[in-house]
Amino acid sequence: MPFRFPLPSGERIKVRGGSILQRTPPHPGLLPDGEKERELKRHELTTMLVKLIRHTPEPEKSCAVAARLCYSNTSIGNLQRKFTRPLVQDLLKKIVRSGHLSVLEHASFTFAVEGVSRALLAQLTRHRIASFSVQSQRYVKFSDKFEFVTPPTIARKREIAEAYALAVNEAKKLYDVLLLSGIPAEDARYVIPQAAATKIILTMNARELRHFFSLRCCNRAQWEIRAMAVEMLALARRAAPLLFRSCGPSCVSGACSEDKPCGKPWKKVPL
Q: Which residues are catalytic?
A: 216
> What distance lies between CA 44 and its chain's CA centroid?
18
What's the rounded Cα separation, in Å, for the pair 84 and 73? Answer: 19
Cross-strand bridge partners of residue 52: 111
Distances (CA, A) of 53 to 109, 117, 126, 194, 232: 8, 20, 22, 26, 11
